[in-house]
């Protein structure tokens, strides 16, 4: 718990002393370093997989939202009927 309070205090102190532009540029630099690191290649691959799944899921939900809603409502009605 002591580490969390030290971390929170350092983040708060950083926010007070560094402007937003500096924090954003340092965050991008850390991300660039992590992505350029060869040991991060597997993590980058999984990130791409997750992003593709999210995009496909969003497109699927947009196209078939009405059907999914009606199927879900019928399932809920049947379960509610069984429990009553």
In tens, the pLDDT along 3-55 reads 555 566 666 665 666 677 777 788 778 877 766 666 666 777 788 899 999 99
Contacts of 14 (CB under 8 A, 6+ apart): 23
- What's the pTM value of the predicted model, to 2 decimals? 0.40
pLDDT above 90 covers a percentage of the chain that reads 26
Scanning the structure block, which residue is given the tokens 């350092």?
A: 10
In the chain, domain spans: 1-36, 41-84
């Amino acid at each position: 718990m002591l580490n969390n309070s030290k971390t929170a205090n350092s983040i708060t102190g950083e926010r007070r002393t560094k402007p937003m532009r500096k924090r954003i540029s340092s965050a991008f630099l850390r991300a660039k370093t992590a992505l350029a690191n060869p040991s991060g290649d597997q993590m980058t691959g999984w990130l791409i997989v997750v992003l593709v799944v999210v995009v496909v899921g969003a497109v699927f939900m947009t196209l078939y939202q009405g059907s999914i809603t009606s199927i879900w409502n019928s399932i809920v009605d049947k379960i509610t009927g069984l429990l009553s």
